[in-house]
C-alpha cells in the first residue's frame, strides 16, 4: 500500500477503504508518511469530501491512534456537550454543574480560544488557582467527586487529531465537514462520553455562517456519531449577537456564576440555549422523557442552588480558590477602561458578534495564533442588548484593557459593531433546528 495511490484515489473521488484510511492515519502518527503527502490527502478530502462510512472509519482510526480515558468503576450515565464556538459562549460553565446536579456525569474535554471565538479552558483558568485535570487519575477523581471534570487534549489522547488539526490550519483545509466531524467526535468519544449533545452555532459570530452550512455539519455529526453506537443530538443555535452580556475570560466565568446563583435578568438568550442543551443531555442520558420535562428539572435545581454549590466544589477540586473567585466578582477587571455611549436615542438594532469577538482578540481575551498570550481580566460588558431601548449618551458597552492603545482599538470596533435605530425587531428564538438520534 502506498500513500500516493490513496491520494490519487481520493483525488479522483473514490471511496477509501478502512485499510487505506488506517494506513494513512497510523503512518502520519508514526512518522512514516510525510506531511506533504498528508497535506495532499487533506486537500483531496476538502474538494472531494467523504462518504458517511469513510467519516466513521476516520473517526475510529483517530480514536485508535492514542489512549482513551478509562471511566470504569464510576457510575454513569456519561453525557457531554460540545459547541462549535461562538462569542460570549460560556454555556459549558453553567451546563456542566447543572447537568451533574441532575445525576449525569459530564467528562468534558475542552479547548482554548483561537480567532474570534472563546475557549472554555481559558475562562476556567481565569478563576484564581484553577487548573485543568492533568492526567487520567486526577480526571477520574474530580469526576467522581463533583459529577463533572474539565480537561484539555493531551499528547496521548487522539494524537492524530492534534497533528491533523495543526496541518489543516496551515493548509486551508479547516472548513471540511468530514474532517471537522472526525476531529470533534474522536476527542469526545476518547474522553468516555456515551451520549453527546452538540451546539452548532450559526451566524455572524460562528464558524458556520448560514443555516444550510450548519445543517450539513449537524447532520454529519448526528449520522457519524450514531453509526458509532452513540446517542447524539445536534441543536443549531443563533450566533449573530454575543451570548449573554459579558465577553472575556474572567468576565464569562463571572457571568456563569451569576446565572447559577439565579441572576438571569437580561440573560434570556444565554439561559434559553443553556436550558435546552442541558434538557437534551437529560433526555440522552435517560433522566428526562423530553426537553420540556428536562427544562423543568433544570429550573427546579437552579432555584434550589445546588448547581452553584457544585460549581464551587469543582473549583476547589481542580485546585482553585472558591473564596478568592467570589471575592473577585465585579472587581477583577483590567485597569484601562473605555465606555461606548449611544449616539442617539432609540433601540439597539444590531450587535455584530464577529466584530465584538474581534475586539476581544485585540484586547487579548482570545488568540490570533496558538502562541499568543491571553489576559484573564480584559473584556467587554454589554449594557444593552438587541431590542433594548437606549437614551442618547447612555452606556452601550464597557471595555476593560491592559493598555490604552488596545482599549481604543477595541472601542472603535465596538462602535462599528453596535447599531442604534429608531425601531428594531424583537429577538427571536435562539433555537433554529434540532436533530436527534437517540
The tens digit of pLDDT for each residue in 350-400 reads 999 999 999 999 999 988 777 788 999 999 999 999 999 999 999 999 999
CB distance 318 to 113 below 8 Å: no
Active site residue 183: yes
Task: Tell me the C-alpha distance between 314 and 323, whole Å.
Answer: 13
Active-site residue among 116, 162, 187, 386? 187
Catalytic pick from 161, 199, 269, 352? Answer: 161
Residue 336 backbone zone (phi > 0: left; psi -120 to 50: alpha; other: beta) = beta
Q: What percentage of residues in the chain have a pLDDT greater than 70?
A: 100
How far, in Å, are 74, 109, 146, 189 from residue 95 at the CA level? 20, 14, 13, 19
Which three three-digit cell numbers place residue 144?
467522581
Domain 3-49 fold? 1.20.970
**SS3 for 45-106, per residue?**
HHHHCCCHHHHHHHHHHHHCCCECCCCCCCCCCEEEEEECCCCCCCHHHHHHHHHHHCCCEE
Q: What are phi and psi of 338, to 5 degrees?
A: -135, 150
Residues 6+ apart with CB under 8 A from 412: none
116 as an active site residue: the answer is: no
Q: In whole angstroms, what is the distance from residue 161 CA to residue 147 CA?
A: 27
**Residue with cell string 432609540:** 346
User: What's the rounded Cα separation, in Å, for the pair 41 and 6?
Assistant: 8
CA–CA dist 88, 378 (Å, integer)? 13
Catalytic residue among 168, 313, 333, 385: 168
* Measured distance CA(315)–CA(257) in Å, rounded: 11
pLDDT by residue (tens digit) across 259-300? 999 999 999 999 999 999 999 999 999 999 999 999 999 999
**Cα–Cα distance for residue pair 348/342, rounded to 1 Å:** 9
Residue 55 contacts by C-beta under 8 Å, 6 or more apart in sequence?
A: 178, 181, 182, 220, 224
Whether residue 44 contacts residue 37, with contact meaning beta carbons closer than 8 Å, is answered with: no
In angstroms, rounded to a whole number, what is the distance separating the alpha carbons of residues 58 and 313? 38
Per-residue pLDDT of the chain (438 residues; tens, 9 = 90+): 999 999 999 999 999 999 999 999 999 999 999 999 999 999 999 999 999 999 999 999 999 999 888 899 999 999 999 999 999 999 999 999 999 999 999 999 887 776 677 789 999 999 999 999 888 899 999 999 999 999 987 778 899 998 998 899 889 898 899 999 999 999 889 988 999 999 999 999 998 999 999 999 999 999 999 999 999 999 999 999 999 999 999 999 999 999 999 999 999 999 999 999 999 999 999 999 999 999 999 999 999 999 999 999 999 999 999 999 999 999 999 999 999 999 999 999 999 999 999 999 999 998 877 778 899 999 999 999 999 999 999 999 999 999 999 999 999 999 999 999 999 988 899 999 999 999
Choosing from 82, 112, 188, 238, which is the catalytic residue?
82
In this structure, what are the phi and psi dihedrals at residue 120, rounded to the nearest 5 degrees? -60, -40
Q: Model-level pTM? A: 0.94
Number of Cα atoms under 13 Å in the Cβ half of residue 122: 28
| Cα distance between residue 171 and residue 160, in whole Å | 16
Q: Which of 101, 183, 342, 358 is catalytic?
A: 183
Cα 113–Cα 207–Cα 191 angle in degrees, nearest 5? 55
Q: Where are the domains of the chain?
A: 3-49, 79-153+164-326+432-437, 336-421
- The alpha carbon of 319 is separated from its chain's Cα centroid by a whole number of angstroms, namely 23
Is CATH 3.40.1030.10 the classification given to domain 79-153+164-326+432-437?
yes
The yes-or-no answer to whether 79-153+164-326+432-437 and 336-421 have a common fold is: no
Alpha carbons 274 and 312: distance in angstroms, whole number? 19
The CA distance from 159 to 249, in Å, is 27
CATH code of domain 336-421: 3.90.1170.30
Distance separating alpha carbons of residues 400 and 330, to the nearest angstrom: 12
Amino acid at each position: 500500500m502506498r500513500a500516493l495511490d490513496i491520494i490519487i484515489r481520493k483525488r479522483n473521488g473514490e471511496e477509501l477503504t478502512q485499510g487505506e484510511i488506517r494506513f494513512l492515519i497510523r503512518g502520519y502518527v508514526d512518522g512514516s508518511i510525510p506531511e506533504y503527502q498528508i497535506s495532499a490527502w487533506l486537500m483531496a478530502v476538502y474538494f472531494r469530501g467523504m462518504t458517511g462510512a469513510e467519516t466513521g472509519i476516520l473517526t475510529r482510526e483517530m480514536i485508535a491512534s492514542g489512549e482513551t480515558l478509562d471511566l470504569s468503576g464510576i457510575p454513569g450515565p456519561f453525557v457531554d456537550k460540545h459547541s462549535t464556538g461562538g462569542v460570549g459562549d460560556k454555556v459549558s460553565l453553567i451546563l456542566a454543574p447543572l447537568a451533574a446536579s441532575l445525576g449525569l456525569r459530564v467528562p468534558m474535554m475542552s479547548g482554548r480560544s483561537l480567532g474570534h471565538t472563546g475557549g472554555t479552558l481559558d475562562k476556567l483558568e481565569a478563576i484564581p488557582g484553577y487548573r485543568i485535570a492533568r492526567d487520567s487519575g486526577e480526571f477520574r477523581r474530580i469526576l467522581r467527586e463533583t459529577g463533572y471534570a474539565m480537561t484539555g487534549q493531551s499528547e496521548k489522547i487522539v494524537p492524530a487529531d492534534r497533528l491533523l488539526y495543526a496541518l489543516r490550519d496551515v493548509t486551508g483545509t479547516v472548513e471540511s465537514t468530514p474532517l471537522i466531524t472526525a476531529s470533534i467526535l474522536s476527542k469526545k468519544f476518547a474522553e468516555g462520553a456515551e451520549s453527546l449533545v452538540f451546539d452548532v452555532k450559526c451566524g455572524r459570530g460562528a464558524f458556520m455562517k448560514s443555516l444550510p452550512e450548519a445543517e450539513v455539519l449537524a447532520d454529519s455529526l448526528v449520522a457519524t456519531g450514531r453509526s458509532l453506537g452513540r446517542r447524539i443530538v445536534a441543536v443549531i443555535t443563533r450566533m449573530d449577537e454575543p451570548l449573554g452580556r459579558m465577553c472575556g475570560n474572567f468576565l464569562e466565568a463571572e457571568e456563569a456564576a451569576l446565572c447559577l446563583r439565579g441572576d438571569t435578568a437580561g440573560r434570556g438568550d444565554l439561559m434559553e440555549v443553556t436550558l435546552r442543551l442541558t434538557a437534551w443531555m437529560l433526555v440522552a442520558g435517560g433522566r428526562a422523557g423530553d426537553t420540556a420535562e428536562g427544562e423543568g428539572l433544570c429550573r427546579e435545581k437552579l432555584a434550589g442552588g445546588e448547581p452553584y454549590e457544585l460549581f464551587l466544589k469543582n473549583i476547589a477540586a481542580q485546585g482553585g480558590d472558591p473564596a478568592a473567585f467570589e471575592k473577585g466578582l465585579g472587581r477583577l477587571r483590567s485597569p484601562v477602561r473605555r465606555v461606548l455611549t449611544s449616539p442617539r436615542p432609540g433601540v439597539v438594532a444590531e450587535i455584530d458578534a464577529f466584530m465584538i469577538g474581534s475586539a476581544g482578540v485585540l484586547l487579548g481575551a482570545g488568540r490570533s495564533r496558538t502562541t499568543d498570550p491571553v489576559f484573564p481580566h480584559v473584556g467587554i460588558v454589554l449594557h444593552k442588548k438587541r431590542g433594548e431601548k437606549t437614551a442618547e449618551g447612555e452606556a452601550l458597552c464597557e471595555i476593560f484593557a491592559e493598555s490604552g492603545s488596545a482599549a481604543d482599538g477595541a472601542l472603535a470596533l465596538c462602535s462599528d459593531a453596535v447599531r442604534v435605530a429608531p425601531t428594531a425587531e424583537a429577538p427571536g428564538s435562539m433555537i433554529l433546528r434540532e436533530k436527534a438520534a437517540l
